[in-house]
Structure 1
Amino acid sequence: MGLDTANARALYRKITWRLIPYMFLLYIVNYLDRVNVGFAAMDIQRDLHFSNTVYGTGAGIYFLGSALFDLPSNLMLTRVGARRWMARIMISWGVISTCLMFMKSAESFYVLRFLLGVSEAGFFPGMIVYLTYWFPTQERARAISRFMIATSLAGVVGGPLSSAVLRMDGWHGLAGWQWLFLTEGMPTILLGISVLFLLRDHPDEARWLTTQEKTWLDEELKRDSEASGAAARHRLGDAFKLRALWVLAGAYFVSQVGVYIVNLWMPLILTSVSHGAVSSILIDRYSTLPYLAAAVMTLVVGWSSDRRDERRWHIAACLLLSAIGFAWAAVAHGLVIALCAMTLAAVGLWSMMGPFWTLTTSMLGGTAAAGAVAILQIVGGVGGFTGPYMTGRLRDATHSFTGGLLVMSGMAVVAALLALAVRRPKTVAAKVTS
């Protein structure tokens, strides 16, 4: 027996409230552990005498570790289930993140950041694949957007939280940045244990769904998969053969270059334009504003994309907005102007993610979908390394952030064109036009 429209909407609301807040919390912790080094950058550089190149390399090498293991990790998730695999990921990365408090040299910084990437590999792509088990395409951009505002709100939470922890500098003989890694790493281990008890692998295992709701949702997801053509492309090899995936990979590479320039360099960029007149604590607080704006606009763009059933133009428009932001930041000479410019860049980069991941997961199903998300994460991981490394090298070479920001702006324009060049597979197009 099917569900009418009102009951279907109620079901999706129920799923959203049961899954998204908890996944949101997990991703906030994930994101903080990944980028907290950015909030502590100035203190780490001062205490350990790291150059911009050393900092940028260490910050970015995380993404190489993640990229190498994203695909096998995501394939393991489909074999052993999301609950067990996500718990394993979180516990291991919590341990490594905590160990960062013991680094003493550039070499230990590189090794621990690389191992953090290895331990964390598969978390984000696994979460995206997990959402496809619960939401059909027409509901997915909103669901992904609600989940992904965790990345921007992590910046809102991370700034004040990191500032407060950094003020513990000297307490019990530990530097502020050491307290930061300790206090943000240990909760991850506890949350990883909680996943074993709170997450369910599939709707069939959810005790909070009725038998009728499970049956209807299963039929709806199958119908959606067949209508989009994803059901016909479910093997891992299908992901590698899909041309649209590789076009999207180019756009995603650029987006991740930009995302981690914002995440890992924004406090230093704002400090540079203020000429050191503003304290690091205030800079960290000001850095929350771009993330807050990005969180709001991520929801708006996700809603708009689902309402219009359109993905490419939404992605392209967001990338163009980020290009404007980075170009503006490159020529900014005051703190307020630079903050406004970085806000535009952040809004564009974060807001594109709902439509982007919906477009990607609508083309493939099963193992192919898991493989596709992992492939994009591998490419994105290279972008995540490139952004911090490129910015650090150019900063040391030119004593300015202008060159790196202008390069990023041009790359964002190219990425927007790539998004518009994406063509859905023929089987999908046929369904749409029929």
Structure 2
Amino acid sequence: MSQNGKSDASDGSSAIGKINLRILPFLFFVIFAAFVDRTNVSYAALPMSSHLGLTASMFGFGAGIFFLGEALFSVPSTMAARRAGVHKWIPLLMVGWGTCASAMAFVTRPVAFYVLRFLLGVAEAGVMPSMILAAALWWPESHRARVITGITSGTGVAMVVGAPLAAVLIEIEGALDLAGWRWLFLLEGLPVIAVGLVALLVFPADPQSARWLSQSQKHWLARQMQGDAARRSEPGDDAPLPLSSHLDLLLVAALLNFSAAGAIATLGFWLPQIGQQSLGYSLGDVGRLLAPLYFVGIGLAYVVSHVSDRRRSRYPIVAGCSVGTAAIIAVSTSLGTTVTAFVLLVIASLVARCMGGVFMAAISEDMTGRIAGKGLGIVMISAAIGMFCGNWVFGVLRDVSDGFGAGLGALMTVACLCALYLERRRARSQKWHFRPPVVD
């Protein structure tokens, strides 16, 4: 290797190392904190419902309306991130959602609960798109998949520590005449505001403005980004969009994401309440049971994604996870209110989560060219709407049937049918692409 080649490799390695050390932990924390603040309501559910007079359907509506706000403001928030820059927009989002999360400590009526959950969804709507934009800004494509996996692993870590942390915070009962569930919201929201304000002052706009990168490292990054941009350009990007010719496939993908995301979110929000109500466990007991299982789930999701990448298999794995989740839920509900049944529900939740990354990889590969923005936007919004509807319908069915099996069965039946239909279409046509035709 020539001297210039060695120097170039050294600049690249050191530049990526510095970015991984200074930027990646912050983005990981953002995802971690966002997931904690959107899901902590599931741990506060029983005492909060008692104080506010919430039925199961009212709680489900309040938990789910978060995703309605997220769906409505996802695109505007993404546009704002592009215009303002992620270095400003991410800290502002943190201050916004931290304020909403902290204000949950002072709700006294169901209407206030609904409003704050909706506003929390609005504030968090741009979090994941901003993470993708930040990854594209700071890391070359050759590092980006691993980086995004590292960032989004914050949700898995939040699942592991969320329940034990909530159990500890809720025990601060009566301090300053505040109930323990109010302290939970307050102490998990205020730190986010503080970190957001600091980040607003110190987070660099881009690699070229980072004082901790040398000029040679900045030049290396600029060359990598330019090369990535050149490779992404492809003929046919200016061709007319054949959206109508692929409308049925787009609707299937959107419906699958609607039902699967709804089922996953519903299981996540209601599992702590199932453990407390059906088994008589304390929140601390539920946390100690969930934490190791969620930790295993992080590894399971990585293994499934690795197998999908190695075998280049997407939709069969999505279908398998959907059917497996439905089967585990069916066995769980047949066992009644037992510890085994509850553990099986947790396992079903983890298996369902394994399909998320694989499905996103599949549609990101299939939707290319100018159709990608519209297609991916529709699929992402369908997920948020599914999460809203799933939690609300589950709560209504819980009130009507006084059980959790009916709600889970309704959600997973739709998810299974969509996944099986999608796999059947793939088997009939090995090449299912949303690619615009190349114009000669």
Say whether the 8 Å CA contact 1:60–1:389 is kept in structure 2: yes
Counterpart selection for 1:425 from 411, 428, 434 = 434
CA distance in 2, matches of 1:74, 1:366: 19
Report the secondary structure of 2:233's partner residue. helix
Counterpart selection for 1:98 from 83, 102, 116 = 102
Counterpart selection for 2:410 from 389, 407, 410 = 407
CA distance in 1, matches of 2:366, 2:228: 14
The equivalent residue for 1:321 is 324
Say whether the 8 Å CA contact 1:324–1:344 is kept in structure 2: no
CA distance in 2, matches of 1:200, 1:168: 38
Say whether the 8 Å CA contact 2:86–2:133 is kept in structure 1: no
The equivalent residue for 1:358 is 361
Unaligned runs of 5+ in 1: none
CA distance in 2, matches of 1:161, 1:58: 22
Say whether the 8 Å CA contact 2:95–2:192 is kept in structure 1: yes
CA distance in 1, matches of 2:421, 2:15: 36
Q: Deviations over 1:315-349 (max 9, x none)?
A: 33333332233323322335432233223322223
Report the secondary structure of 1:352's partner residue. helix
**1:81 and 2:85 matched:** yes
Change (3 A) 1:50 1:162: same
Say whether the 8 Å CA contact 1:233–1:368 is kept in structure 2: no
Runs (4+) of structure 1 exceeding 6 A deviation are: 1-14, 237-242, 365-368
Change (3 A) 1:78 1:397: same
Alignment of 1:100-115 (within 5 A): 100-115=104-119
Counterpart selection for 1:389 from 379, 387, 392 = 392
**1:37 and 2:41 matched:** yes
Report the secondary structure of 1:195's partner residue. helix
The equivalent residue for 2:345 is 342
Change (3 A) 1:369 1:264: same
The equivalent residue for 1:263 is 268
Same amino acid, percent of matched pairs: 29
Mean CA deviation greater in 140-149 or 71-80: 140-149
State the Cα distance separating 1:106 from its structure 2 match: 1.2
Change (3 A) 1:219 1:329: farther
CA distance in 2, matches of 1:201, 1:83: 5
Mean CA deviation greater in 34-43 or 81-90: 81-90
CA distance in 2, matches of 1:130, 1:223: 20
Change (3 A) 1:211 1:114: closer
CA distance in 2, matches of 1:411, 1:160: 33
Say whether the 8 Å CA contact 1:126–1:370 is kept in structure 2: no
Report the secondary structure of 1:177's partner residue. helix
The equivalent residue for 2:336 is 333
- Which residue identity does 2:295 align to in structure 1? L
Q: Deviations over 1:254-277 (max 9, x none)?
A: 222122212210012223442x2x
Say whether the 8 Å CA contact 1:82–1:201 is kept in structure 2: yes
Change (3 A) 1:317 1:21: farther
Counterpart selection for 1:208 from 213, 224, 242 = 213
CA distance in 1, matches of 2:48, 2:89: 33
State the Cα distance separating 1:170 from its structure 2 match: 0.9
Select the structure of larger CA radius of gyration: 2
CA distance in 1, matches of 2:374, 2:85: 15
Say whether the 8 Å CA contact 2:91–2:200 is kept in structure 1: yes
CA distance in 1, matches of 2:329, 2:381: 24
CA distance in 1, matches of 2:284, 2:195: 28
Q: Deviations over 1:77-116 (max 9, x none)?
A: 2222212111221111111111111111111111111111
CA distance in 2, matches of 1:290, 1:337: 13
CA distance in 1, matches of 2:10, 2:359: 28
What is the number of residues matched between the two proteins?
424
TM-score, normalisation: structure 2: 0.84
Mean CA deviation greater in 250-259 or 399-408: 250-259
- Which residue identity does 2:380 align to in structure 1? Q
The equivalent residue for 2:285 is 282
Mean CA deviation greater in 72-81 or 369-378: 369-378
Say whether the 8 Å CA contact 1:89–1:119 is kept in structure 2: yes
Change (3 A) 1:28 1:56: same
Alignment of 1:235-254 (within 5 A): 243=247, 245-254=250-259
Report the secondary structure of 2:213's partner residue. coil
Mean CA deviation greater in 370-379 or 22-31: 370-379
State the Cα distance separating 1:23 from its structure 2 match: 1.6
Counterpart selection for 2:127 from 120, 123, 133 = 123
Counterpart selection for 1:64 from 62, 68, 73 = 68
Change (3 A) 1:202 1:322: farther
State the Cα distance separating 1:153 from its structure 2 match: 1.7
Mean CA deviation greater in 170-179 or 132-141: 132-141
Counterpart selection for 1:154 from 143, 154, 158 = 158
